[in-house]
């Protein structure tokens, strides 16, 4: 596991979209059942049941993308939970809403840390509108890629990991030599500085290995969504921002004189 904490690559203007995304995700989490600030969800078993229903309503249930909204009796709820009241849901809209829902404080803080470190420079290069569209597209594509691999899955998928992985992929292409300070738990959290290409390639390799492990690509882990988002981000940056070849035209004096004749 690698945890980036700072990159030596200042943006030229405030990353308004990146900060807005962090703020929205944080507010949504604070209003949700897991923040501890909303006692109306109850405690103990009531909280676990409310959490599962909340994720089913606002998260992506892969089976719903292909077969329509599931009856509440088929939702993946903890044992002992009562059957919830039916609620209206547009499954394809949940591909967007799921990006702003997180499953724990650790999930939220980890995702927002990655977005804060890498999102500002990608936004600075793309511009605010293009970065917004890119972020949403990366998240939607990552989620759909995961759902295609689990078309019958009934467990909810939540989090901004797929969209943020897209920002990581774009950062790898746009700023490969930027110095990124990271901590590694297996090295006792000692902060070390490496080029961005080394940190992000190491992160991608860890996601790939985890996805290949038995059960690693299961519906409870979104490693596949990370890989899809990252690949999309890198290819999108490569296609839109790769250097263009300069074509030089040499005009000889003879050709100039000939062109000047009537």
Give Rg (Cα) of the chain: 23
Contact 32, 211 (CB under 8 A): no
Domains and CATH numbers, the chain: 3-260 (1.20.1540.10)
The pLDDT value recorded for residue 89 is 87
Write the pLDDT tens digit of every residue in 133-178: 999 999 999 999 999 988 888 888 999 999 999 999 999 999 999 9
d(CA 231, CA 23): 26
The pLDDT value recorded for residue 83 is 83
Whole-prediction pTM: 0.86
d(CA 115, CA 162): 11
Contact 146, 226 (CB under 8 A): no
d(CA 164, CA 117): 11
Q: How confident is the model at residue 42 (pLDDT cuts 50, 70, 90)?
A: confident
- CA 25 to each of CA 2, 31, 232: distance values in angstroms, whole numbers, following the listed order: 22, 10, 22
d(CA 71, CA 69): 7
d(CA 149, CA 155): 13
Contact 172, 229 (CB under 8 A): no
d(CA 212, CA 198): 21
Write down how long the chain is: 262
Kindly give the interhelix angle for 161-174 and 105-126, rounded to the nearest 10 degrees.
Answer: 40
Q: How confident is the model at residue 105 (pLDDT cuts 50, 70, 90)?
A: very high
Q: Which helix (H) or strand (E) holds 179?
A: strand 179-183
Write the pLDDT tens digit of every residue in 170-218: 999 999 999 999 887 777 778 889 999 999 999 999 999 888 876 544 4
């Amino acid at each position: 596991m690698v945890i980036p904490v700072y990159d030596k690559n200042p943006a030229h203007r405030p990353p308004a979209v990146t900060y807005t995304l962090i703020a929205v995700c944080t507010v949504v989490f604070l209003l949700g059942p897991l923040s501890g600030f909303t006692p109306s969800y109850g405690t103990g078993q009531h909280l676990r049941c409310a959490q599962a229903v909340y994720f089913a309503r606002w998260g992506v249930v892969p089976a719903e993308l292909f077969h329509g909204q599931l009856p509440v009796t088929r939702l993946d709820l903890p044992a002992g939970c009562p059957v919830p009241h039916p609620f209206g849901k547009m499954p394809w809209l949940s591909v967007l809403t799921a990006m702003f829902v997180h499953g724990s404080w650790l999930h939220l803080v980890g995702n927002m840390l990655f977005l804060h470190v890498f999102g500002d420079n990608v936004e600075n290069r793309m511009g605010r509108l293009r970065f917004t569209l890119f972020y949403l597209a990366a998240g939607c594509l990552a989620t759909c890629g995961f759902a295609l691999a689990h078309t019958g899955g009934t467990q909810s998928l939540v989090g901004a990991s797929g969209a943020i992985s897209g920002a990581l992929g774009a950062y790898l292409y746009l700023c490969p030599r930027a110095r990124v300070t990271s901590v590694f738990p297996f090295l006792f959290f000692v902060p070390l500085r490496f080029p961005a290409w080394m940190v992000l390639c190491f992160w991608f390799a860890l996601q790939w290995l985890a996805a290949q492990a038995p059960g690693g690509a299961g519906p409870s882990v979104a490693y596949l969504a990370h890989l899809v988002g990252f690949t999309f981000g890198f290819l999108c940056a490569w296609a839109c921002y790769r250097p263009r070849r300069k074509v030089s035209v040499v005009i000889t004096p003879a050709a100039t004189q000939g062109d000047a004749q009537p």
